[in-house]
Amino acid sequence: MVIDQSFIEKIGKFVVVGGTAFCLDFGSTYIFKEKVKANKYLANTLAFIISASYNFVLNRMWTWGLQGSADVGLQAAKFAGVMTTGLLITTVLIYIFSDRMKFNFYISKLIGVSVAMVWNFTMNNFVTFSK
């Protein structure tokens, strides 16, 4: 793999989309957990679904520059698999850090999302949106 200007730009766009998705994820988690009083794992999952949908559309169109409906179904299926694994990574780390180690829930979520982000970019770049 060659790290060229286009790859670096892709990482930059992924970070911007991911940063805004992160805010959407954390904001939604907060609303579901603190205001709606949903279980923290349910709140995390619902927020993930909202954030992942936003993430798919923006990353497909802007980060990877894909337009139109060609391959969108296959890409959505691959993306769902990648993101579901990312959700599993995040959930396991929330459990370890929040429930077992007694860290603050949101700190635990931050750790989980940070680890999942590396997984998500790598798999989406080389599997989901590869040309």
Q: 55-101 pLDDT, tens per residue?
A: 999 999 999 998 887 789 999 999 999 999 999 999 999 999 999 99
Q: What is the pTM (predicted TM-score) of this model?
A: 0.84
Distance of CA 117 to the CA centre of its chain: 6
Alpha carbon distance 13, 64 (integer Å): 9
Token couple for 25: 């994820």
Mean model confidence pLDDT for the chain:
93
Give me the percent of the chain exceeding a pLDDT of 90: 89
